[in-house]
Amino acid sequence: GEDVEQSLFLSVREGDSSVINCTYTDSSSTYLYWYKQEPGAGLQLLTYIFSNMDMKQDQRLTVLLNKKDKHLSLRIADTQTGDSAIYFCADLYNAGNMLTFGGGTRLMVKP
């Protein structure tokens, strides 16, 4: 089946850029997503990218997709303490109905 992998932990200083990486195995993926989970809360959709795109920018967020290498990244510019959370990447597969989630990357932002 589909497998989505992320590193577990990332620590950055406030004001720096954060880059969270994700790899996936399903070459037929149509959409890829980034979700944010704040402590004690559910998952909130941050952004997504269609598989025929290389890049998508949305304010401080930049998503890069390398379809050849099956690599997805989320860059957060000017990272703030409020960005501290767990970030999940997810891949839409199985006739477009199921998401497979990565294990989540915990981002810690130090003042």
C-beta separation of 80 from 35 below 8 A:
no
Report residue 14 as tokens: 């406030």
- Identify the burial level of 2 via C-beta atoms within 10 angstroms of its C-beta, where 0-12 means exposed, 13-18 middle and 19 or more buried: middle
C-beta separation of 2 from 100 below 8 A:
yes
Please, where are the H alpha helices in the chain? none
CB of 76 to other proteins, least distance (A): 19
CB of 31 to other proteins, least distance (A): 5
CB of 91 to other proteins, least distance (A): 10
Site map (CB under 8 A) of other proteins, residues 45-74, x = contact: x--x-x------------------------
10: contact with other proteins by CB under 8 A: no
Residue list 17-46, contact with other proteins (CB under 8 A):
31, 33, 35, 40-45
Report residue 73 as tokens: 């990244």
Binding site for other proteins (CB under 8 A): 8, 31, 33, 35, 40-45, 48, 50, 88, 90, 92, 97-99, 101-104
